[in-house]
Every structure is written in structure tokens, then in C-alpha cells.
A and B are shown apart, each in its own frame.
Chain A
């Protein structure tokens, strides 16, 4: 499968995530769009690792395995991020009774 296809698929999903972050006001949906972007990047990392593996297969058998480990670490960081972020959203909801990000502008005052 040409690497081109994977690049364009990940770009499409990443840009859908960006449009979601820019256009929605619900904090939880903005958060889910960030997860969508992380997953697009993960897919591209795996595709590049397989591309590298195919290129370097003659020199070393384990070429390209770093890419898949990076995906593993990205998942770890994403899980930690989600736990803290959802705690912040719950605290926000308890204080202002809304998850509308426009309410966050009171941080200015």
C-alpha cells in the first residue's frame, strides 16, 4: 500500500479534529477532537514505521520498531491527559454549571 494513502488519510482525520476544536463550544467535544488528532498521528507513525521496515529490511530485522513504541508512549500520555482533563472539566461544571468554553473567559478577571 503506498505511503501516500496513509498520509492523506491521517491528514483528513487530523483536519477534521482541528475543525471540531475550532467550531464546537462544548469542552468535552473539544477534548474528543484532540483524541481524534492524536489517533491520526498514531496511525501515521505506524505506517511510517512499516515503511521504514520495508526499506531497511535487508540491513536490520528490527528497523522501524521505534515508531510503534512511540505510539505506545503517546497512548500512555493520552490516558494521563484524559484523566486530568476530565477532572478539570468536572470541577468546572461544578463551579459554573456548564461546559461551555466561553465561560472560561472569567479566568481573565
Chain B
């Protein structure tokens, strides 16, 4: 008979943890790349289609805002379960790293969109006026004035978003996504393996701290006065 609880010896932990950390970083990295690529234009559109933006379109703004809220209204676990057919369509599977990337991206884009919108809102309105009066095209104004001035805020948003994705990747462990979350659930929770449980918790804490501290550092460096 198998013992109910087996604690993995300390010496074997690195063999379990290191590949899991790698998978987690991969999930979060790929997700964040897509999130930044798609969430930034969403945030720019949200900001500039609003009253006082570069191309005010109240109806478009309301529609974008509604869709964005939709993406943010479901708890991640529910979202993940509800879009399984979509995930299968996209990556051909509902388990594994890639299957986790789909719901993480779906949750991450509207989140980052709002963060970008907020960061742009923090930029004084005069910056846009100055850029327009200096003869900038819409694209030039967005890139070289709005986003450029908002960069510290954008990096702060990126930090926040990455940490949220780290958390989501752990939740995705429930559907066998791999990574730290999967390890914590399959060993720590289902097998009562206390040493793996403690180790995964410590790894997550350290990862979050590293992301936050480096984010804060970058924000400080990017700010001028």
C-alpha cells in the first residue's frame, strides 16, 4: 500500500522545481508578450477615443470599454473553464503550457488595456496639445509624446500585470498547465507533500518579489524629476 503522504527529500527538490520554474516563466513570458502587443493598442484606443482624446468617438469608446469590462468580469478559474472550446480550437489541446497561455492572454489583454489607459491619463493634457501644435501626426503623437511620457506608468502597469499573470499561471496548474502551480497542486495538495508545498510557496514569493523590485527600480530610473 502506498503511503498517503510522502515528503520529497530536499535533495530531489531542485529536479522538480527547476523545470517547473522554467515552464512558469515561459507561460508568463509568452503571455505578457502577447498582452503587451495587443493590450497597448487597446489602452491607446480607450484613452484617445474618449472625450478630449486624439480621435474622440464616444460610441467606439463605449463599445471598447464594454468589451474590456467583459474580459475583466470573470474570475480567472471560471474564464479558463468557459473558454475551453476556444482554447482547443486555437492550440489543439486543453492541457499544458500552451493551453494555459490562451486564457491567461484573454484575461491579461483587457487588464493591461486599462493599465495603459490609466498611465496615459496621468500624462498632462498639455503634452498632447504641445505635440499637436508641433505638427505631429496621430501616430507620432501617440508614440513620441503620449506613450513616451507615460513610460514609467506603463512599466508600473507591466509589473502589476506580470505578477497577476504569475498568479494566473499557478491557477492554471489546476487544468494541468505545468509550472509551479501544477507542482503545488499535484504534489503539495493532492499528495500531501509538505516539502514541495513549502518549496513552491517560497519560489512564488521570491518570483513576485523579484518582479516587483525590478519593476520599481525601472520605474525610478525612467522617471525624470
Q: Do A and B bind each other?
A: no
> Footprint of A on B, CB under 8 Å?
none
> Footprint of B on A, CB under 8 Å?
none
